[in-house]
Amino acid sequence: MAGEPAKYVTESIKEKALSLGFDLVGIARSRRLLEYENIFTEWRLAGMNGNMNYLQKNTDARFDPSILLPGTRTVIVTGLNYYTDIIQEQNDVPLISRYAFGNDYHFIIKNKLNELLLYIKSIFPDARGKAFCDSSAILEKAWAVEAGLGWQGKNSLVINESFGSFFFIGILLLDIDLDYDEPFHEDKCGSCSLCIDHCPVRAINKNRTVDARKCISSLTIEKKEPLIREEVQKFNRRVFGCDICQEVCPWNKNIKSHNHPELYISDVLRKMKKNEWLTLDRQKYEKLFRHTPVARVRFEIFKKNIETVLSNPA
């Protein structure tokens, strides 16, 4: 597909994505991402995937979308802003990452991507597509760069010039051709190293990867056993995720808060006091977190982590 009609159809698909609530959309030509293979393999062989054993599987498919959807020609990449100024109010409570305040983004994004696919099928009835969100099967950050959404910062996250890095990436593979965006070629981190300098556990490597064995975000989410005292010394009350390397990033200053009500923090979570955290029971945990990403951590482990993190607040 080439020329004016392709441009017109592509624009209408992008408009549809924005009308579904996505904040960003870019379109890349599918290819095998050869240049990422070595860096990923080195990272994994060094054990830096930590508890994420699933990253050892399907390694070939990760670099080649056509293994995930035979005949893939196009990778649509969407961004959904989750930045918010409305956060937990108390300054002595366990901290939850912004992305986990509201409903689980996996479902929100997949639903929107599937709606987008239906729209595309209304134009190309024979088109086939497959949606991914936060899936280990595909290199989402690399595709966001390919689709021109931004560059991969030194903290490993994709940074967009308007939205910063607090956005979820969604991927829709298609077996049809569209009009493609240019990959983002610049590195706008420059000489900055604030994320590396401020990471309390020194988890950020020089090659824009993160050591999951040290990273607070990985440990608080992926570890299947409760955290131990020695591990949480530098967690500074973080009990689910960590936003430090994003909060210090100059590209995240003065960014717009999202307007997705399903991602808002609840009033109860926003106001929750330390004693309420310490007496959290299963019923309240389920009421507060059942529909959020926090539900990935079992209640028993989450409860123990709260106690451990609060007894080592610095």
* Residues at the contact surface with ligand SF4, assessed by CB under 6 A: 153-155, 189, 192-195, 199, 201, 203-204, 210, 215-217, 242, 244-245, 248-251
Between 58 and 193, name the residue whose CB sits nearer to ligand SF4. Answer: 193
Radius of gyration of the chain (CA): 20
Q: Which of 134, 197, 211, 243 is catalytic?
A: 134
CA distance 138 to 277: 36
Smallest distance, ligand SF4 to C-beta of residue 244, A? 4
Between 122 and 193, name the residue whose CB sits nearer to ligand SF4. Answer: 193
List residues bridging with 133 in a β-sheet. 170
Smallest distance, ligand SF4 to C-beta of residue 32, A? 27
Between 183 and 250, name the residue whose CB sits nearer to ligand SF4. Answer: 250
CA distance 43 to 211: 8
CA distance 238 to 2: 50
The DSSP H or E segment spanning 151 is strand 151-152
Give the side-chain half-sphere CA count within 13 A for 226. 13
Cβ atoms of residues 127 and 44 within 8 Å: no
Q: Residue with CB nearest ligand SF4? A: 153
Between 98 and 154, name the residue whose CB sits nearer to ligand SF4. Answer: 154
Nearest to 72 by CA among 61, 80, 88: 61
Between 139 and 215, name the residue whose CB sits nearer to ligand SF4. Answer: 215
197 is catalytic: no
**3-class secondary-structure state, position 35:** helix
Cβ atoms of residues 237 and 277 within 8 Å: no
Cβ atoms of residues 96 and 90 within 8 Å: no
Smallest distance, ligand SF4 to C-beta of residue 160, A? 12
**3-class secondary-structure state, position 28:** strand
Between 100 and 189, name the residue whose CB sits nearer to ligand SF4. Answer: 189
Between 6 and 194, name the residue whose CB sits nearer to ligand SF4. Answer: 194
CA distance 152 to 17: 23
Nearest to 222 by CA among 59, 103, 49, 101: 49
Cβ atoms of residues 62 and 254 within 8 Å: no
The DSSP H or E segment spanning 158 is strand 158-159
CA distance 183 to 144: 8
CA distance 225 to 236: 20
Smallest distance, ligand SF4 to C-beta of residue 149, A? 15
Residues noted as catalytic:
134
